Copies of this chain bind each other. A is one copy, B any other.
Amino acid sequence: MVNEYIELIDNKQYTKLKGILSMMEPVDIAALFDDLPEKYMPLLYRLLPKEAAAEVFVELDPDMQEMLIRGFSDTELKEVLDELYLDDAVDIIEEMPANVVKRIIKHTDPEMRHSINEILNYPKDSAGSIMTNEFIDLKEDMTVKDAFTRIRRTGLDKETIYTCYVIDRNRILMGLVSVKDLLLAEEDCIISNIMEKNPIYVNTSTDKEDVARALSKYDFLAIPVVDNEHRLVGIVTVDDAIDVLQEEATEDIEKMAAIVPSERPYLKTGVFDTWKQRIPWLLILMISATFTGKIIAHYEDALGKFVVLTTFIPMLMDTGGNSGGQSSVTIIRGLSLEEIDFRDVFKIIWKEIRVALLCGITLAAANFVKLMIVDRVSATIALVVCSTLVCTVFFAKLIGCTLPLAAKKIGFDPAVMASPFITTIVDAASLIIYFNIASAVLHI
């Protein structure tokens, strides 16, 4: 498919190309740029209709944005910058090296420059850092007709016009009104009579994940952001909230797999950076796992007498790890989605205890049959293995559900308490349980 475009460029069929590009969505054009050899990019970019150009620019990778900016004339750069929404401009600036940022700032108009600086000053991951100040504000004493006049006059370069925010003289947030309500109301209706008072809002310092969850929970298209004096300073729109929620899920998944999260997609991360994401937990868990080895060393004599015991170690360790991982991951995700709260701790433990016993007994029964029929071990050995299974699964599920809750309670990240971490603890525990039961039953 990319080859078609290359052919068109090589044959200088620019009118045809323009026609094709004008039918495409910006994000699809950006994806095409991603697949295209770099040298074709500036040319193809200049074929885009001016309005589309900025939208495509926003969707490109930072590397490509940088390359394009470096190639832009000052006029071209200014044209793109004038079309950008504030929050997109901030996103781009955050990714650019200092000299490019300097050039960008130089070519933005003073008002935009001021807003960019303001947003860059909010802490990373706060509502302030992802909001935009391009929203429609109305006054309480306006009529619906006044409101529409204002929307028509100022709406063109606002990211969303569908929720309008009502503020007083000091910019204090008084309420909100949707364009739907405005459209369904009489022209001479006063805004304060139709606006929703006491709207849900977030603070500039609210964590962006909480902002995204609020937007999703209330099914809003945008949520207002106020400062400590309750002045309306910006809004966060639903499209950004979706991105935050997806990033959050990815981060959780990475942490659960013992990876240090990164914001860059896999294919855009270098080998060395990927190594840096993966090696810390591998090292920590490797060192921890050596304690498990110590336990085996400690029971060397018992193992020497009943070598057959060794053959069940991997099965016991894996089953324990899997059982604990199931519980911990369920709890971690529940905490993330706010379906679970620390005050549910006893309900959860009681549930996990019963599930653990059911799982443990099922596994032990299945294993007993296999041990007797397939492996043909003695009933005593089978008994040792199967009662270890029940105890290990019980312990694993208990640890698996309580550790993430405890982490949450003391302000740690519960996602770290997932399978790899649990596995390491459960491995050691399962061996201790195993050898103790073996010693007791087999009198060693």
Contacts and interface: CB of A to CB of B under 8 A. Distances in A.
Interface of A: 23, 25, 27, 148, 151-152, 155-156, 161-162, 179-180, 183-184, 197-198, 200, 216-219, 221, 238-239, 241-243, 245-246, 249-250, 252-254, 256-259, 265-267, 271-272, 274-275, 278-279, 281-283, 285-287, 289-290, 292-294, 296-297, 300, 303-304, 307-308, 310-315, 317-319, 321-323, 325-326, 328-331, 333-334, 337, 339-340, 344, 347-348, 351, 354-355, 358-359, 362-363, 366-367, 370, 375, 393, 418-420, 423-424, 427, 431
A286 B310 CA distance: 16
Contacts of A322: 258, 281-282, 285, 420
B319 A266 contact: no
Contacts of A200: 25
A382 B359 CA distance: 39
7 contacts: A162-B180, A257-B325, A265-B339, A271-B355, A282-B323, A292-B315, A321-B423
Contact of A245 (B197, B246, B283, B325): B246
A198 B362 CA distance: 57
Given A256-B253, A267-B347, A296-B313, A325 B420 contact: yes
A156 B183 CA distance: 10
A278 B359 contact: yes
How many copies of this chain does the complex contain?
2
A326 B281 CA distance: 10
A375 to B, nearest CB: 8
Given A271-B358, A272-B358, A282-B326, 13 more contacts: A216-B243, A216-B246, A257-B329, A258-B322, A289-B318, A292-B315, A293-B314, A296-B310, A296-B311, A303-B307, A313-B313, A321-B321, A325-B420
A271 B293 CA distance: 35
B285 A325 contact: no
Nearest to A312: B293
A239 to B, nearest CB: 4
A23 B242 contact: no
Nearest to A179: B179
Given A303-B310, A313-B313, A363 B253 contact: no
